Amino acid sequence: MKTIRVLVFGGTGIGKTSLCNTITGGAEPTDNGAKGVTSSSFIYPPFQSQDVFIELVDTVGLHESAHGTVPAEKAVVELISLLEKSRDGFNLLIHVTKAGRITKEHDEDYAFFVKKMTEGKIPVVLAITGCENEEPMMGWVTKNSDAFTRFNYKALIPGCFASGGRLEDLFRPLREESKQNLITAIHTFALSEAYMLYGEQTGISFNAALTRIWNEFVLLAGLPDKYRRQVNESIFALMRRLGVSEKIARAAVTHIPDLLEEVGNKTPIPHGGKMLKFLSRAFLEKLTGKIAGE
Ligand SMILES: Nc1nc2c(ncn2[C@@H]2O[C@H](COP(=O)(O)OP(=O)(O)OP(=O)(O)O)[C@@H](O)[C@H]2O)c(=O)[nH]1
Ligand SMILES: [Mg+2]
């Protein structure tokens, strides 16, 4: 059966994980505290809807680096990990925002994920959280749709993704309505074939994709130019220059699947590359978890 892969992005604490939990029935941690909760991108187990599987990838707000709260060393490792999770490409993007003013972060997230990382090749819908006070929830979109004409959204989908607490009985039916609307949007707007950022079919290597995306991130996050990856600079050298410890940088490079596959397939071990790739995935999860928790 076909899998529709969806990348979910947006500002910190805006309700990305709540939305993913609502659609998939998952229970990943969410919180309204002052600090970000999701510290590494996360692939939800695919679930079946109509005649396809839907797989969501939850992300970390990368623009935090601009404010100095997430150092560049964490951002580069997280970006490597996100790119690794993007290996099968995406069919749709969901930009998550909160009902209210359009912030600078909203523009930055759109610029990075829609225009830069995926080069405008993947349709994007906007999910608006915190619409529980509107009756109907669509009321917020009706009043505010003009503000979004400068973006290329396929649809504006208002919703409520909150759960628990004293309002749970009110939230539950609104979550169900929001879930149905989003799943309909996924079926309606997703590309029938995933758009790949790198890999054999594209002729673009992991290495080249990482360089392009990292350099665009540096620009967008307003980091000094010295953080850009230089021509012929290895990923290891880049990480060291950004302050990633030698141990972690060495481990990360050894475990970047595509680099490994190139090495692995030259060895006499049959399917050596594939095996290494599998081991690398688990390793990268640990690595980003560790760096984020430092
Ligand atoms: N009122 C209301 N609260 C919401 C809604 N969606 C999420 N929240 C609350 O907003 C808080 C943050 O939600 P999360 O899902 O953790 O947000 P996030 O974008 O994943 O946050 P980070 O991972 O930290 O970037 C939680 O307390 C949620 O319950 C909504 O539609 N309405
Ligand atoms: Mg989260």
pLDDT tens-digit readout, 153-175: 999 999 999 998 899 999 999 99
Task: Indicate whether 292 belongs to any domain.
Answer: no
Tokens describing residue 222: 């307003």
CA angle 74, 79, 83 (to 5 degrees): 155
Residue type present at position 272: G
Is residue 237 in some structural domain?
A: no
Residues with CB under 6 A from ligand 1: 12-18, 30-32, 36-38, 61, 129-130, 132, 160-162
Mean pLDDT of 236-240: 87
Which tens digits make up the pLDDT trace of 33-80? 777 777 778 899 999 999 999 999 999 876 654 445 457 788 888 888
Rounded to the nearest angstrom, the distance between the alpha carbon of 167 and the centre of ligand 1 is: 14
Instruction: Tell me the two tokens of residue 196.
Output: 């790949």
- Would 56 be classed as within a structural domain? yes
Strand 52-58 vs strand 47-49: parallel, antiparallel, or unpaired? antiparallel
Domain annotation covers residue 288: no
| Structural domain total, the chain | 1
Cα(179) to ligand 1 centroid in Å equals 15
For 135, the domain range is 3-189
Tell me the pLDDT tens digit for each residue of 102-124: 998 899 899 999 999 999 999 99
The fraction of the chain above a pLDDT of 90, given in percent, is 53
pTM of the complete model beyond 0.85: yes
Ligand whose nearest atom lies closest to the CA of 160 = 1
What is the 256 CA–ligand 1 centroid distance (Å)?
32
Is residue 286 assigned to a domain? Answer: no
Distance 78 CA to ligand 1 centre (A): 21
Is there a contact between 189 and 92 (Cβ–Cβ < 8 Å)?
Answer: yes
Q: ∠ at Cα 214 (210, 217), nearest 5°?
A: 145
The CATH number that applies at residue 119 is 3.40.50.300
Taking CA atoms only, the protein residue closest to ligand 1 atom 13 is 15
Ligand 1, pocket-test mutation among 18, 82, 96, most atoms within 8 A of CB:
18
Q: How confident is the model at residue 286 (pLDDT cuts 50, 70, 90)?
A: low
The answer to whether residue 252 sits within a structural domain is: no
Confirm whether 93 is domain-assigned: yes
CA nearest ligand 1 atom 27, residue: 32
Higher pLDDT, 294 or 214: 214
Residue 16 forms part of a structural domain: yes
